[in-house]
């Protein structure tokens, strides 16, 4: 299993941007599906962006599509989540996740949370 450590969270005003990073160790991301999830207090965990590989489009939740972008740099073993146009409802703890690439679609990975490795989370607060 990979070890994942998120960073980049913080306080940002509505309309602002943040880029979250997720550093992976213990293996190469080349053969892993990756994802970003979030959980707000009192709410269920939500899969917001998942990627199978570079040859297929990522899946985005409706709540973030068009505003957030998932990417990875295999050479740096790092996964990113670029978040633009942030809203108060984006306030949550954000987690990255990874699992050995299988036949699941990117949507399956997000909807079903099919990941074995999880980070500890980073807090994002959107407020004035």
pLDDT band at 28 (very low <50, low <70, confident <90, very high): confident
pLDDT for 82 beyond 90: yes
pLDDT for 53 beyond 90: no
Q: Which two tokens stand for residue 2?
A: 């990979």
Mean pLDDT taken over the chain: 95
Instruction: Report the b/e string of 83-98 with b at 16+ CB within 10 A.
Output: beebeeebbbbbbbbb
Tell me the per-residue pLDDT of 87-123, one tens digit each, with 9 for 90 and over. Answer: 999 999 999 999 999 899 999 999 999 899 999 999 9
């Amino acid at each position: 299993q990979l070890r994942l450590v998120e960073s980049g969270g913080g306080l940002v005003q509505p309309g602002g941007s943040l880029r979250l990073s997720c550093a992976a160790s213990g293996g190469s991301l080349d053969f892993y599906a990756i994802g970003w999830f979030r959980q707000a207090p009192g709410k269920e965990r939500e899969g917001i962006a998942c990627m199978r590989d570079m040859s297929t489009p990522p899946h985005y939740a409706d709540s973030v599509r068009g505003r957030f972008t998932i990417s990875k740099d295999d050479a740096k073993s790092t996964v990113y989540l670029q978040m633009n146009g942030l809203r108060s409802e984006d306030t949550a703890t954000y987690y990255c996740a990874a699992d050995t690439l299988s036949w699941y679609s990117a949507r399956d990975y997000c909807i079903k949370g099919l990941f074995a490795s999880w980070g500890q989370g980073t807090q994002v607060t959107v407020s004035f």
